[in-house]
Structure 1
Amino acid sequence: MDHHLIVRRDAAQATLDAYMERPFAWGTGDCGQMALDHLAQFTKLATPIAAVRAKLGAYNTAIGARRAIGRLGFASLAEQLDALGLEQIAPASAWVGDIVAGPSVGAMDALTVYLGNGVVVGFVEESPHGTHFRLLNPVAAWRVPA
């Protein structure tokens, strides 16, 4: 098996293990934090992610999350992913370990990590904690360089 595929698989599994059943909490257990934790596992992204975390600051509400993203100079999590140099791809082209955005309630992006066969790990309103689920209506995706 290709080394890059193993790295992607292992990172996706680690993210699933860390966030499955993890209670949702703004600033510590939300989709943005999950995406940052996932991306930090990749050597090419570890340093930029550390810089993002340093500037992000603490937040514990949806309004606080929007303000934190604004402190980074972005209007959305999608803009932040673009600024990290992640290539936007068609959601149907996602590989294990890529970031996929789904529809969300309100103005915040809903980021997930792709596990394969249309299944992602992330947070949904119907569950008080992280879970894996089939993302039926992905709206955007980014290739994670492994």
Structure 2
Amino acid sequence: MIESIRRANAAQACMTLFAGQPMDWATRCHCGRLAAQAMMRMGRNAKLLNACRATTVRGVLTYLKRNKFADLVELMDATGLERIAPAMARPGDIVALPSAPGDGFGCSLTVALSDGRVLMASELSGLFEPVTPHVFVAAWRV
């Protein structure tokens, strides 16, 4: 399959599963699951992200600490994905955006769509929706 079509299909699958859904730790509808879904749709191993079965913020932070990750950026680096400049992100890639200072996560994981947009859990609406970010932390090629 052509790479661009495969990436578009992976991004669309993430949109279908997450867009309009409320961010909810109890149902595991959060940025870690979004990133894991993008990785799996692109045929990559999402073992580190899927290993965290926590259903609370505290549980996820405990998982990070227990596995000696300072934040989500370190966890994503440990997945073996190539780190890229956020401007180079193509559909299906993972882009880290800044999260609330001191939240322990260090970033919020999103999935690149097209035209510079990403799918993320919006702080304003509490729903997963496409947005155009202006500040980035990091990005990884899936």
> TM-score over 0.5 for the alignment?
yes
Please tell me the residue identity of whatever aligns with 1:31: C
TM-score, structure 2 length as denominator?
A: 0.88
CA root-mean-square deviation: 1.7
Deviation at 1:51, TM superposition (A): 6.0
Contact residue 115 and residue 121 of structure 1 kept, 8 A: yes
Stretch deviating more after TM superposition (73-82 or 6-15): 73-82
Q: Which runs of 5+ in 1 are unaligned?
A: none
Contact residue 112 and residue 122 of structure 1 kept, 8 A: yes
1:107 and 1:30, CA in 2 relative to 1: closer, same or farther beyond 3 A? same
Q: Distance in 2 between matches of 1:51 and 1:133?
A: 26
SS in 2 for 1:29: coil
Q: Which runs of 5+ in 2 are unaligned?
A: none
Contact residue 56 and residue 71 of structure 1 kept, 8 A: no
> How many residues in Structure 1 have an aligned counterpart in Structure 2?
138
Query: Which of 130, 133, 136 pairs up with 1:135?
Result: 133
TM-score, structure 1 length as denominator?
A: 0.85
SS in 1 for 2:113: strand
1:75 and 1:141, CA in 2 relative to 1: closer, same or farther beyond 3 A? same
Deviation at 1:82, TM superposition (A): 1.1
| Structure 1 segment 95-134 matched on structure 2, within 5 A | 95-105=90-100, 106-108=103-105, 109-134=107-132
Q: Distance in 2 between matches of 1:52 and 1:71?
A: 14
Deviation at 1:85, TM superposition (A): 0.9
SS in 1 for 2:77: helix
Deviation at 1:50, TM superposition (A): 4.1
1:102 and 1:51, CA in 2 relative to 1: closer, same or farther beyond 3 A? closer
Q: Distance in 2 between matches of 1:65 and 1:56?
A: 7
Q: Distance in 2 between matches of 1:143 and 1:130?
A: 21
